[in-house]
Structure 1
Amino acid sequence: MTTSVLVPSSLSREAEDQREATRKLGYVARAATIFRADSLIVYPDRDGETGRFDGGFVETVLRYAATPPYLRKEAWGKRDELEAVGVLPPLRTPSQTGSESNGSGSSRQGIVTEVGPEGRVRVNCGLQHPISLNAPPSMAVQEGERVTVRISSRRPVRAKLVDESPPGFAVERMDLSAALGREDAGVRIAASRYGEPLTVGTLGTLAGRIERDGMTVAFGAPERGLPDILGIDQTAVEAAYSGQDDANVEPNDLETGFDLWLNTVPHQGSDVVRTEEALFATLAPLSLRT
């Protein structure tokens, strides 16, 4: 089961300065971490982008936030997009632990600093010095690649390179249609105030499907929701999920690639729910299990 979170490249469109834009993205990264998202995908919304806080900025800051602190200097150096990263909240992603006799210890992210002969590589994984490891036959690693290192002992250092995704979430850039069309997309949900109001009954039905198939949840941008981004009439979405017998639009008529449009704050007390707030409000109930 995988969880993917989709946010638009226009996510920081209303930010007055880089500090505010960076802080907003930090909250998005926090939500992805807290609710154990496997991937955070930035999809293009070029009509909604304003100023310099475009998709490249959004992707770079989110990638930086997802990088463990002990690797950030080597992985990123100095970049204009990262001038305000001091305001990012710490993600505090815990190391993955295991108790198997052949793989006990913690898993952490590393960066390949050198590729040598016969499958030997040097990896910086936050220890005092880079360590030399054998790459598994199934892995073809390159210099600069991020890998997972399983550490069983620190004194003396005993570790191995393992062929699995590093802890935390991955940041990708992808068209919305491509993200929704992946084989592991699971239940494809559009988070929108115009969708079906989330109820206990709806959640009871959804939880089983999500637990079995995983989920992909897409969010809109400030002052620019998913209907605007997709170029569809918001009244059509409302009509499809109104529950009225005389509604002339059915959910299947929308043809947007989503299985469900869902309003996770059905009684919102503010005119606007910010995207970063919507992530917490949406991922919290959808993370419940049967």
Structure 2
Amino acid sequence: MGERKQKTASGGKRKKRPEAAVTEGASERPDESCSPEKSLHDQGRRYTVSMAVPGSVIDNTQSLELATAVAGQIARTAAIFNVNEVVVFDDRLNPTPGTLSAGTAFLARVLQFMETPQYLRRGLIPMHKDLRLAGMLPPLDAPHHMRANEWRKYREGAVIRSDGECCFCDIGLDKEAIVKGSFPEKTRLTLRLGDKPRARPIGSSGNEVYEAEAVSATEPLEKDGVYWGYVVRVASGLSAVLGECPFDGGYDLTIGTSEHGTAEGPAALALPEFRHLLVAFGGLNGLEECARHDSSLKGGDARDAFHLYVNTCPGQGSRTIRTEEAVLISMSYLQTAIRAHGVR
């Protein structure tokens, strides 16, 4: 997963994830007694979980307030279920090549905002009308969203200046971090700072900095089993979701969710072992409509596009399940099977 480049609503890329921040309480010293929450996993985790969600989930909302709430619910679901990648795809009928629907861009932008630690947002995320209400959403409260007085082995930082041989990063603490190597300003980095603070003075001023090393954004999960957020990818359609996978070897297990899929209880669900899983969700008219409108999918049959096609809420009491509801229901339904069959 390392320095994955990704299509985003703002054209950014991540290693570097996009965005940055206000440091609240920056004068407080970090509390070394604050250890990371125990991971849900007993060891490092190398398999990945991706979700694909259509931009029309936003196009069908009636106000900025509702659109923001829907995007926030999807972001929270991704974090709760340890999702590594969220793919937002344009499911319009006959879209103009090279363009994105307003809903696709909006959803990608809010998802990026939500994933970025609060202390990095101001420096990394440009102001935009789509984000006017995003600050009111419930935070993800993921392990990489740390408080100003909290110390952990890993931390997200943003480059604020460089002297050629090393760079200095805002890490939301009372001191900056110094990192060997040269990175452009406003590059988001995952930093390894060690189990305890290591501060040293630099230059004639005697100002102290924390020593840190830039590592892959996937290291906290792969080595320690600590969930470290998701990346956002934008796709031009369902075929691009499946065909432009950023992981080596592509998705080796794809699951489409639909009321027309196979209906069985979670305990009866049998998944093969996988390294890279994709779970896809349709819009107002389901994945079937998305497949029919995608000229790159041969035959236009959604069932043929996925390894498994499942109904994750058999016996539903409502005629319809909204996409943001389906995401939460389906990821909960799949969770036990995902943990059991992901290759570590």
Q: Specify the TM-score bucket, using the shorter chain as the normaliser.
A: 0.7 to 0.9
CA contact (8 A) 2:50 2:85 kept: yes
Match of 2:203 in 1: none
Match of 1:246 in 2: none
CA contact (8 A) 1:187 1:214 kept: yes
Distance verdict in 2 for CA 1:220–1:255, change over 3 Å: closer
**Percent of aligned pairs with the same residue?**
31
Match of 1:180 in 2: 242
**Alpha-carbon deviation of 1:256?**
4.2
1:162 aligns with 2:201: no
Match of 2:315 in 1: 267
CA contact (8 A) 1:19 1:87 kept: no
CA contact (8 A) 2:91 2:290 kept: yes
Match of 2:160 in 1: 113
CA contact (8 A) 1:21 1:53 kept: no
Query: For each residue in 1:28-50, what CA deviation from the matched residue of structure 2 results, as whole angstroms up to 9, or x when unmatched?
Result: 0000000000011111113399x
Residue type of the partner of 2:241? A
Gaps of 5+ in 2: 1-46, 96-100, 146-150, 200-208, 219-227, 294-300
Match of 2:86 in 1: 40
Query: For each residue in 1:212-251, what CA deviation from the matched residue of structure 2 results, as whole angstroms up to 9, or x when unmatched?
Result: 4341001112x2311111117xxxxxxxxxxxxxxxxxxx
Residue type of the partner of 2:286? G
1:279 aligns with 2:279: no
Match of 1:142 in 2: 184
Match of 1:198 in 2: 264
**Alpha-carbon deviation of 1:255?**
6.7
Query: For each residue in 1:158-198, what CA deviation from the matched residue of structure 2 results, as whole angstroms up to 9, or x when unmatched?
Result: 44233211621111112432332332413101111111113
SS of the residue 1:267 aligns to: coil
CA contact (8 A) 1:2 1:184 kept: no
CA contact (8 A) 1:66 1:169 kept: yes
- Give every structure 1 segment of 4 or more consecutive aligned residues whose post-TM-superposition deviation is greater than 4 Å: 253-256
**Alpha-carbon deviation of 1:201?**
5.6
Q: Pick the structure with more helix per residue.
A: 1
Match of 1:247 in 2: none
Match of 1:225 in 2: 286
**Alpha-carbon deviation of 1:56?**
1.3
1:69 aligns with 2:143: no
Match of 1:91 in 2: 140
Distance verdict in 2 for CA 1:201–1:133, change over 3 Å: closer
SS of the residue 2:57 aligns to: coil
So what's the TM-score if we normalise by structure 1? 0.78
Bigger shift: residues 56-65 or 143-152 = 143-152
Match of 2:35 in 1: none
**Alpha-carbon deviation of 1:266?**
0.9
**Alpha-carbon deviation of 1:110?**
1.5
Distance verdict in 2 for CA 1:88–1:63, change over 3 Å: same
Query: For each residue in 1:120-142, what CA deviation from the matched residue of structure 2 results, as whole angstroms up to 9, or x when unmatched?
Result: 1121121234322113xxxx743
Match of 1:80 in 2: 129
Residue type of the partner of 1:269? G
The separation in 2 between residues aligned to 1:286 and 1:255, in whole angstroms, is 18
Gaps of 5+ in 1: 97-103, 233-252
